[in-house]
Amino acid sequence: MLSQPRPHADSVEQLADLIRGADSVVALTGAGVSVPSGIPDFRSAGTGLWEGVDPMQVAHIDAFHADAERFWAFYSERFATLEDKQPNDAHRALAQLERQGMLDGVITQNIDMLHRKAGTEELIELHGSIERCVCLRCRIFVPLGQARALIAGDPAGVPRCPDCDAPLKPDVVLFGELLDDHAAARARELCQRADVLLCVGTSLEVYPAAELPMITHRAGGRVAIITKSPTPLDRLGHIRLDGDVVDELGALLTVLDGHGDSA
């Protein structure tokens, strides 16, 4: 009857019970949710993008200001790596939970647009997204497709603002930049009122992702951690699933669907 694999079935059942009994369920996702889509963790060493270059230096706001050409030589490759990637079943499972009224929203550390492509409606992108670039001088936004055309048409490979000619910046939070206040505040608000926070594929090491489960926990909500590697917040996890994110979320959907009629 159950076609999906069910790793750690007891815990998946427990998680399904928590979700059924919750008024508000929110998901927090990190790089691990996009690994099955072929996107390596940007922060991990040896992922191939510019071998030997530290992304925390070259994808830094100071590097953007100091040398836009070098910055864009790196970042346009990042665009090329990301823009054709497709969502996987973990992204789709979260979008389905939202459509079924069981998930209030997704907070993500990822900039790859995959939750949006999978159909998630209530999406908070803590670190922005490659969906657009911004001119820091006139605050206009340029969509990704147009930015790619500007990169291709510029002799130095730098997309420039159509109005003022300043180099455009990807509308993502670069290293050395502050988070968008509005996104961070909305994320805290969702975590504050969540009865269950599903932390999926995030190492929970980078601020503010490290802080958000604490907010849910302090407000009396339950924290479920679904990721392969240990996290610093495992002791908070009411439920801890350490299988593959696609398998675990697939199993969760199966259990929730299986009990849908009697709910």
Q: Which residues of the chain form contacts with Zn ion (CB under 5 A)?
A: 135, 137-138, 161, 163-164, 166
- Catalytic residue, from 127, 182, 217, 259: name it: 127
C-beta separation of 203 from 231 below 8 A: yes
Distance CA 75, CA 9 (A): 42
Looking at the Cβ atoms of 12 and 161, the one nearer to Zn ion is 161
**Enclosing H/E stretch for 147:** helix 144-153
For residue 140, the minimal CB distance to Zn ion (Å) is 6
For residue 164, how many other CB atoms are within 10 A of its CB? 11
What's the rounded Cα separation, in Å, for the pair 114 and 88?
8
**Helix, coil or strand: residue 153:** helix
Q: How far is the CB of 168 from Zn ion (least distance, A)?
A: 8
**Closest CB to Zn ion among residues 168, 215:** 168
Whichever of 99 and 137 has its CB closer to Zn ion, that residue is: 137
User: In Å, what is the CA distance from 235 to each residue of 65, 131, 136, 231, 244?
Assistant: 41, 36, 41, 9, 20
What is the arrangement of strands in the sheet containing 141-143, beginning at the earlier edge strand?
141-143, 128-134, 169-172
Q: Record the tokens describing residue 141, joined without a space.
A: 């936004």
In the complex, what is the shortest distance from the CB of residue 179 to Zn ion, in angstroms, rounded to a whole number?
A: 23
C-beta closer to Zn ion: residue 134 or 215: 134
Between 61 and 166, whose beta carbon lies closer to Zn ion?
Answer: 166
Minimum distance between the CB of residue 139 and Zn ion, rounded to whole angstroms? 8
DSSP state for residue 134 in the 8-state scheme: E
The CB-of-164 to Zn ion minimum distance in angstroms stands at: 3
Whether a cis peptide bond, with omega within 30° of 0, leads into 208 is yes
DSSP string, 202-257: --S-STTTTTHHHHHHHTT-EEEEE-SS--TTGGGEEEEE-S-HHHHHHHHHHHHH
Q: What is each CA distance from 114 to 7, 225, 241, 251, in whole angstroms?
A: 25, 20, 22, 21
Minimum Å distance from CB 138 to Zn ion? Answer: 4
Please say if 238 is a catalytic residue: no
Between 160 and 222, name the residue whose CB sits nearer to Zn ion: 160
Catalytic residue numbers read 127
